Structure 1
Amino acid sequence: MVGDAEATKRRLLDAGTAEFAKYGIAGARVDRIAAAAAANKAQIYHYFGSKEGLFDAVFDEFVAQTLREVPIDPADLPEYAGRLFDGYLRHPELTRIASWYRLERAETSEPLQSILKANQGKVDAIAQAQADGVLPSRFDPADLLALVLTIAGMWTAMTPEYHDLVRSETVEHRRKVITDAVRALLA
């Protein structure tokens, strides 16, 4: 029975990911999520408390996944930014869900502890690298992290019209622009 419960939760998380990436929180429908998960709506409320609770669980899972797949390396922030870019390509739904979170959830809910903890860990790692002389201290650690994260995600934040402008650029070129930009930031 526990295996069935875990399998149901997994299907709901997967269906929620697809639904939230496409429609955001307000546009997502629990009936579509339940149908896609071969579950019923009551199970969403049982396991996650609400549609917003399911969204938070989906987002929290992406935070944990990103930390596992792309741990920060303060000794090589350019490559860290490049690996983040690679992750955004592998999981395009992540950037969409993060955008929906910023638009619909960030100001109306308690901060997600996983995000606070992840960000603090990255800032602490940068601060230690600065104290050890591995990184320049021109920027405050939190500001430096914000710059690196913004550069790493810049291609995913562009409008479709801008993408038309750079359509001929390869993925390799885009990744190199990111790593070169972070390298220049640290020079």
Structure 2
Amino acid sequence: MVTMTDSTGDRIVAAATTEFSQHGIAGARIERIARAARTSKERVYAYYRSKDALYRFVAARELAAIAEATRLDPTDLPGYAGRIHDYFVAHPERLRLMNWGQLEVTSDAPQPDDPFQLSIRRKIDQLRAAQQAGDLDPAWDPIDILVFVNQIAMSWAAQPHVGLDSTEDRASFLAARRAAIVAAVQRLFPAVNSVPTPEEH
């Protein structure tokens, strides 16, 4: 297992993160990862038994970083959606890394240690607990809440320039898209103690 104090392991993970983001799992090459990490293929395989195992480690690490940066708060899903938007607009390479995994890691029976499934289960548990506490509408299935909020939140991350006029300021354009995302999620899943809009009075 790689530790954060192991510089060779850190270089392998950093190189693999870039490689998987650019080429996906099938297109990634251990030779390139080893070269970028200034080590050998044999050393990479000494840390990770396969390319898939290396991707799973990288994906789990990235998912943990995303969770830390975006902080799911079931009582404020509009705010959570805004943070997801901000994160992936700022880090498009990490969105690609996650998308490659969803495209290429296909199985009728997901593995129990699959990082995506583990992340989803943790968030579903948080949402269900909020429903039980009366902080979130119990009429929704938690998995639907999670998928709908994530899809709305990431709707502009993969296409930040669509509709952007050549004379328009990009920062202002993205701010407007973010506001639309937050408003859309607020309509579906209002934040606890949120202030009603004039139309809701």
Give the TM bin, normalised by the shorter chain: 0.7 to 0.9
Is 1:165 equivalent to 2:163 in the alignment? yes
Q: Is the 8 A contact 2:59 2:115 kept in 1?
A: no
Tell me the CA shift for residue 121 of structure 1.
Answer: 2.1
The 1-side partners of 2:53 and 2:87 are apart by: 25
Which has the larger displacement, 99-108 or 17-26?
A: 99-108
Is 1:94 equivalent to 2:97 in the alignment? no
What TM-score, normalized to structure 2? Answer: 0.81
Q: For 1:156, give the aligned amino acid.
A: A
Structure 1 residues not aligned, in runs of 5+? none
1:71-123 C-alpha deviation (Å, 9 max, x unpaired):
21011000011111111123222210111111112328735444333222211
Which has the larger displacement, 148-157 or 111-120?
A: 111-120
Is 1:48 equivalent to 2:12 in the alignment? no
The 2-side partners of 1:126 and 1:5 are apart by: 35
The 2-side partners of 1:3 and 1:122 are apart by: 26
Identical aligned residues as a percent: 36
Number of residue pairs the alignment of both structures matches: 183
Residue 58 of structure 1 aligns with which residue? 58
Is 1:153 equivalent to 2:154 in the alignment? yes
CA gap 1:74/1:140 in 2 versus in 1, 3 angstroms:
same
Which structure 2 residues correspond to residues 6-85 of structure 1 after superposition, within 5 A? 6-85=6-85
Partner of 1:74: helix, strand, or coil? coil
State the 4+ residue runs in structure 1 displaced beyond 6 angstroms.
2-5
What TM-score, normalized to structure 1? Answer: 0.86
The 2-side partners of 1:131 and 1:148 are apart by: 19
1:133-179 C-alpha deviation (Å, 9 max, x unpaired):
22222311111111111111111344xxx844345462211211111
The 2-side partners of 1:91 and 1:119 are apart by: 21
CA gap 1:4/1:149 in 2 versus in 1, 3 angstroms:
closer
Q: Which has the larger radius of gyration?
A: 2
CA gap 1:166/1:106 in 2 versus in 1, 3 angstroms:
farther
Q: Which has the higher helix share?
A: 1
Aligned-CA RMSD value:
2.4
Partner of 1:165: helix, strand, or coil? coil
